[in-house]
Structure formats: structure tokens, C-alpha cells
Amino acid sequence: MAVKHFLTLQDLSIDELRAVIDRAIEVKNEPTLAEDQSKKTLALIFDKASTRTRVAFEVAMTQMGGSSIFLSNADSQLGRGEPVEDSARVLSRMVDCVAIRTFDHGKLQRFAEYSSIPVINALTDDYHPCQLLADIQTYTEHRGNISGKTVTWIGDGNNMCNSYINAASQFDFELKVACPDGFEPNADLLKTHSNRVALFRDPAEAAREADLVVTDVWASMGQESEESERINSFEGYQVNAEIMAEAKSSALFMHCLPAHRGEEVSAEVLDAKDSVVWDEAENRMHSQKALLEYLLKF
């Protein structure tokens, strides 16, 4: 059977995505049900910082009896310019799965093209599909099926926002994106999924009657030098109590974290009872366990 990668949500069918999320809920409730992955090794190639993703993958492998090897740019030959095509072929002969966090999505795609083992996108400049597994799991646990619901994204049209567009199409929900001029998500994605996604300039209007409000940092990893300029550009795009008041009274708030209280989200909203960010963070581990289990079957 051909090797299966997880570079975007579109790499799995909706049935496969639902199966992974259902399984994540199952292994969260009964961790001993997770399949034994002893003797399996996951390599983690990270060109950017991480707390949740790295720890979630490493703990997931440990709990399933397998192991993981963390490779940063500082300590692998990739960091010294060894081609990804060569690294992919070498690692394919030693480990069972690779999770990559990097800048250029093309680099991840090239690695996958030359890899004979599953490759997982642990975040690129363009997408963060693993986070969406956790987010959909979290919504499902708190409110049931997300299909047919209204989700509002407020802030930067970044990697998380692009993955929300993919999720809207796969899980069949309506996505309203509110962002300032010049900070829109990927134009081709917007066009492809225009039946599920609408663009707004006014965050309050976008949040009206939403079932879920989501945001993320205004300056992603790699954009540190633009931080102060971006704080000005995103003025008025903070998710605060006023914005949440526009949403349904049952609306949840999500943020992939790390968060900047007082910038993209007020402390009041982040720490409120309808904020499910800690469950979201925990679910990174359960959903990645389910994803690894799924991909390692092929």
C-alpha cells in the first residue's frame, strides 16, 4: 500500500479525519486502548520553536511504547545544508515516521516526495493541520458535531487560518474570516473554498452568531521583525468580551497557543470559562497519538 502523508488536512478523506478524531477521543478516555508502537521510532525535524507539538509527539510515542528522536537545525546535517531529498531517503531507512516543523511548505513537500515513510506537517508557514485535529476534537467534545456550525476567525490570515479554511471544507462548516487589508489568507484557497468561507473587515460583524471564535498571534514565527508594525496593523482586531458578546451565548473560544494576552486576545477572554484553550492543548497529544496510529498502519 502506498505510504500516507499528512501535509494538509486534504491528505485524509473526511471519513479518515473523523476516524482519527473519534479515535483520539477514545484513547483520551482509555489510554490503554492505543495500539502498541514498541520498536517504532518517530523523528522530529524542527526548524522552529515548539512546546506543545514537540512534547505531544514525544509523549504520544512514549505512551505507545515507541520512541522519538528530536533533530534541530543545530544538530543535524540538514542544518548544514544536506539536501532534504537525501535526508528523506536516509531517514526512511532508519525510522518509521517523520514530523517536520519548518518555514517553507515546499521543503516539507519535497521531503515527503522522497520519503518512503509517513511525513507529518508539524507546522509550516502555510499550514498547521495537526492543530486542527485537536481543535475539531475539542469542539466535538464540548458541543458535538461541528458540521453546519459557524466558525469565526479573527486576525492574521496565517498558517492556522489556512488550515481552518481546509477544515471548513472537510468538516462542512461555515467560516467567517475577519482580517485587515493585506493580511488575508491564501487567495487560491479562498477561491477554491468560496462556498464555505467569507471574508470580512469588521470583526464584530464576522463574530455575529458564531458557534466558535478563534484567533492566533499577529506575528508568527519568522515574522518577529514585523512585530511592532503588525501590532499597529491589527488594531481593532482583538478578541475581547465585546467581540464574544456578538457570538452565540454558547460560543467557545479557541487559540492554538502561545497567546499574547492584551494583543490578539484579552486576558478576560483567554481565561474565561468558554475558553477551551487548555483542552485544545491537551488534545494535541491525544489526536497526534491517533494520527500516528493511523499513519503507521500503512
Which residues contact ligand NVA (rule: CB under 6 A)? 123, 158-160, 216-217, 220-221, 256
Give the shortest CB-256-to-ligand NVA separation in angstroms.
5
Residue 51: which of ligand NVA, ligand CP, none does it interact with, CB under 5 to 8 A by kind?
Answer: ligand CP
Cell numbers at 60, concatenated: 504520544
Give the shortest CB-280-to-ligand CP separation in angstroms.
8
Does 275 bind ligand CP (CB under 6 A)? Our answer is no
30 CB burial (10 A radius; 0-12, 13-18, 19+): exposed
Closest CB to ligand NVA among residues 158, 287: 158
> HEC states along 190-215?
HHHCCCCEEEECCHHHHHCCCCEEEE
Quick one: CA dihedral 30, 35, 38, 44, positive or negative? negative
Q: In this chain, which residue has its C-beta nearest to ligand CP? A: 53
Cα gap 120→170, rounded to integer Å: 18
Give the shortest CB-179-to-ligand NVA separation in angstroms.
13
Does 51 bind ligand CP (CB under 6 A)? Our answer is yes
Does 73 bind ligand CP (CB under 6 A)? Our answer is no
Decide if 296 contacts 68 (C-beta within 8 A): no
Closest CB to ligand NVA among residues 135, 293: 135
Enumerate residues 6+ apart whose C-beta is below 8 A from 264.
Answer: 154, 155, 215, 216, 217, 218, 234, 237, 238, 239, 255
Residue 121: which of ligand NVA, ligand CP, none does it interact with, CB under 5 to 8 A by kind?
Answer: none
**Binding segment (CB under 6 A) for ligand CP, from list 44-52, 66-74, 105-113, 193-201:** 44-52
Helix (H) or strand (E) holding 281: helix 277-295
Q: Could you give the strand order of the β-sheet that contains 67-72, starting from the edge strand earlier in sequence?
A: 67-72, 41-46, 97-101, 119-121
Contact characters 170-209, ligand CP, x per CB under 6 A: ----------------------------------------
- Window 122-151: residues binding ligand CP (CB under 6 A): 123, 131
Beta bridge partners, 43, equal 69, 98
Does 257 bind ligand CP (CB under 6 A)? Our answer is yes
Q: Is 128 a catalytic residue?
A: yes
Decide if 297 contacts 140 (C-beta within 8 A): no
Closest CB to ligand NVA among residues 76, 220: 220
Binding site for ligand CP (CB under 6 A): 50-53, 123, 131, 256-257
Q: Please identify every residue annotated as catalytic.
A: 101, 128, 131, 216, 256, 284
